[in-house]
Amino acid sequence: MDNGYESFESDFNIFNNKVSFLIESRNKEELINIVKKKHDSEIKDDVDKEHKKDDLIIWNALFSREVIRSGISKKFLHIVYNKFYREIKKSNSMLSLQKIELDMINEYFDLLINETEITENFVVNKILQSLYLNIEGQISLEKICEKLNISVGYASYCFKKLKGISIMQYLRKIKIERAKTLLLTSDKTILEISILLGFYDQSHFTRTFKKITGMSPKEYKNKSLLL
């Protein structure tokens, strides 16, 4: 069964790095393809519509957060968010909820894409793809730019202008997000996670984790288990 609910009690796409990347890179077409396949499975497996409502409320918040995080004008954001929140709450069928999900993707992506400079966004999309593909292991900025056939200076300028941080800072950030997931959902040790994610050693991983999250990997795991 591959309906988006196989491993989690909610839609596992919420936790899927590939889906996160598609949103980051504004790849609406591919995201819609994934969602439509999920819809077919939802109907086939008779997924509970109340379960689906809960997931769409989460997605509505996640899309809104992406708009805010991207520094895009929030003038009409509350209108879009409130509209979908009300539609989700009053929907009475799986088909109507699935339509809402597709409408959400289209409308939020319109907000995200139309507010972004196309030329630079294309470059940043390619960089983001490389970062997510290399979230495990080590890669240098020079290697990323060599593969994309662009200069380090131009890549750095485009990325910093759009994302507000450097390429390598962003890579460290998403590595730590991946580490947080692994700490809570796998049996891997801190050393194993640090090696998997391409840190020089456990000490380097711990310092980076603490710098970004404010706590050590062990403290983060212990605190999360108590919640």
pLDDT band for 137, please (50, 70, 90 cuts).
confident
pLDDT for 71 beyond 70 = no
pLDDT for 26 beyond 60 = yes
Query: What tens digit of pLDDT does each residue of 48-64 get?
Result: 899 899 999 999 998 88
φ and ψ of 93, to 5 deg: -145, 155
φ and ψ of 185, to 5 deg: -120, 0
Residue 14: which region, alpha, beta or left (left: phi > 0; alpha: psi -120 to 50)? Answer: alpha
Structure tokens at 110: 């319109």
Q: Given CA atoms 184, 186, 190, 193 in this order, what sign does their dihedral have?
A: negative
Alpha-carbon gap, residue 117 to 131, rounded angstroms: 20
> By mean pLDDT, which of 3-7, 166-170, 204-208 is the weakest?
3-7
Alpha-carbon gap, residue 109 to 206, rounded angstroms: 36
pLDDT for 205 beyond 50 = yes
Query: What tens digit of pLDDT does each residue of 111-134 get?
Result: 776 554 444 567 888 888 788 777
pLDDT band for 185, please (50, 70, 90 cuts).
confident
Q: CB under 8 Å to 10, separation ≥6 — which residues?
A: 51, 54, 55, 58
Alpha-carbon gap, residue 201 to 192, rounded angstroms: 10
> By mean pLDDT, which of 38-52, 120-134, 181-195 is the weakest?
120-134
